């Protein structure tokens, strides 16, 4: 089995992925900087199962600190493949802190690519985002759409820049790359700032749910274990193929309007939502809608989890963390 570096391993998606890779017999090297965007304790809890596994090692480092920091933090052992999930996430915060997003997601990614080049690591799975599509009118979103003028937030711009960097390293140094555009991932361990997590808390506290816009905006919600399945299949594809440079959507292929989502959360929690309509937020898009045919063809990717089941699993997980 392979030796795989997972950046952002203590996060929502990263911790699930690390557990899955360990379960499949891989050796996992985890890297995280415990960015204070949310509580460090939550991320340490995410890592608990991995830290107990004999084939997992954890290293704390910040990609922004450069090559020397990476060399000092990471073992000299052979690494077959990197899954790069580490990033500063969130559209809204990126509008308020654009420099921080470019430093983390562009400069940090560049340092990682340079470290890979120097270590002669030839395979990369890069986590991009559906935000790169912006408010493009063509739906569902296909990977071959022209994205020259679609990014409407610094976060989106930083992710598209990351994709362009991975192509540069593919072209110059033969790096095998899968860029995967994630679509509104949710489920157990979801960040506290994300909508589903916030809405459940507000409902349980008897507080109104903020609705930005008229409630018709829609997202292609994808359950975290379906996303992890897609990543895992992408890892296997990279390990068994050379000369690879591909960009894929890992979504659910079904946009859910905001009002429908809120009603489904109300059903999962057992509370009737009170709505508080507010203006649209800067940088938000109207809809995300993944065309997943390419991922289906290349990886056999086929998300299995309905919104109802996924929300139920999230609420069950949250109950264990914070019993009512």
SS3 call for 178: strand
For 96-109, b where at least 16 C-beta lie within 10 A, e where not — what string?
ebeebbbbbbbebb
How crowded is residue 77: how many other Cβ atoms within 10 Å of its Cβ? Answer: 9
- Please report which residue ranges of 188-246 form alpha helices under DSSP H: 195-204, 224-240
CB 279 within 8 A of CB 213: yes
Cα distances (angstroms) measured from residue 26 to each of 18, 127, 295 = 9, 20, 23
Task: Exactly one of 101, 155, 169, 221 is catalytic; name it.
Answer: 155
Q: Of 81, 68, 66, which is closest to residue 29 (Cα–Cα)?
A: 81
Question: Is 155 annotated as catalytic?
Answer: yes
CB 109 within 8 A of CB 68: no
Token couple for 231: 């990543």
The single residue listed with the structure tokens 């420099």 is: 99
Catalytic residue numbers read 155
């Amino acid at each position: 089995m392979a030796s795989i570096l997972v950046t952002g391993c203590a996060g929502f998606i990263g911790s699930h992925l690390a557990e899955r890779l360990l379960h499949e017999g891989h050796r996992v090297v985890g890297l995280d900087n415990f960015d204070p965007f949310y509580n460090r304790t939550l991320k340490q809890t995410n890592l608990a199962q991995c830290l107990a596994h004999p084939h997992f090692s954890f290293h704390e480092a910040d990609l922004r600190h450069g090559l020397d920091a990476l060399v000092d933090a990471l073992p000299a052992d052979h690494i077959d493949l990197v899954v790069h999930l580490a990033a500063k996430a969130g559209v809204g915060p990126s509008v308020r802190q654009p420099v921080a997003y470019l430093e983390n997601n562009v400069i940090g990614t560049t340092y990682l690519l340079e470290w890979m080049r120097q270590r002669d690591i030839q395979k990369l799975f890069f986590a991009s985002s559906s935000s790169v599509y912006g408010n493009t009118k063509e739906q569902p979103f296909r990977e071959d759409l022209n994205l020259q003028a679609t990014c409407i937030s610094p976060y989106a711009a930083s992710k598209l820049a990351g994709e362009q960097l991975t192509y540069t390293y593919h072209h110059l140094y033969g790096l095998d790359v899968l860029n995967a555009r994630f679509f509104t991932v949710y489920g157990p361990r979801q960040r506290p700032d994300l909508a589903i997590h916030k809405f459940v808390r507000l409902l349980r506290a008897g507080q109104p749910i903020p609705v930005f816009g008229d409630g018709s905006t829609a997202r292609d919600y994808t359950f975290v274990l379906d996303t992890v399945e897609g990543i895992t299949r992408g890892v296997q594809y990279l390990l068994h193929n050379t000369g690879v440079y591909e960009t894929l959507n890992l979504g659910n292929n079904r946009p859910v309007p905001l009002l429908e989502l809120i009603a489904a959360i109300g059903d999962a929690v057992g509370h009737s939502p009170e709505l508080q309509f507010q203006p649209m937020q800067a940088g938000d898009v109207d809809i995300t809608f993944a065309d997943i045919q390419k991922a289906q063809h290349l990886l056999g990717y086929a998300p299995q989890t309905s919104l109802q089941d996924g929300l139920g699993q999230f609420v069950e997980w949250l109950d264990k963390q914070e019993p009512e």
